[in-house]
Amino acid sequence: MAEDANLIEFKRWYSQAQHDLDAARSSSSSGHFEWACFQAQQAAEKVLKAFLYLNGKRAIISHSVMKLLQECEQIDPAFSSVSAARELDQYYIPTRYPNGLPEQIPHDYFNAEDARKCIAHATTVLEFVSERAKPSTA
């Protein structure tokens, strides 16, 4: 029997989220803290989209961790426990573009503590989704 299309999408998005989180850790270790922050935001965004796919959603367009968390919370109210991850939204644009930071560039602005915090948020969300997905993907 063929796998459900949403389960296939869940696996694709979840796998990429894991790779993005690994990349965030690598970037942080290399001193590329701006990229670590952005990659952590991407990991959280993608794993939340994975959860939504797993629960029958399609055509998920938002890049906002906050909005995706709200959508996930409608399915499972326990997502409110990881709502601090919404902070990752502030790293979506300024980590990549000099015009997101007046008179500075992302590489000089973001630091190890920013990266640590972002990676911690993304890790929490990824682990949370992983626990919630186990019964559905087993």
Name the residue ranges covered by the structural domains of the chain. Answer: 5-137
Among candidate residues 100, 111, 119, 117, the one with its CA nearest the CA of residue 32:
111
List C-alpha distances in Å: 122 to 48, 128, 129. 10, 10, 11
Whether 65 and 48 have beta carbons less than 8 Å apart is answered as yes
**Tally of CA atoms within 13 A in the half-sphere of 111 that contains its CB:** 1
Report how far apart the first and last C-alpha atoms of the chain are (Å, whole number). Answer: 15
pLDDT of residue 111: 98
Superfamily (CATH H level) for 5-137: Nucleotidyltransferases  domain 2 (1.20.120.330)
List C-alpha distances in Å: 49 to 16, 54, 65, 136. 11, 9, 9, 15
Structure tokens at 24: 């965030």
pLDDT of residue 1: 42
Residues of the chain scoring pLDDT < 50: 1, 138
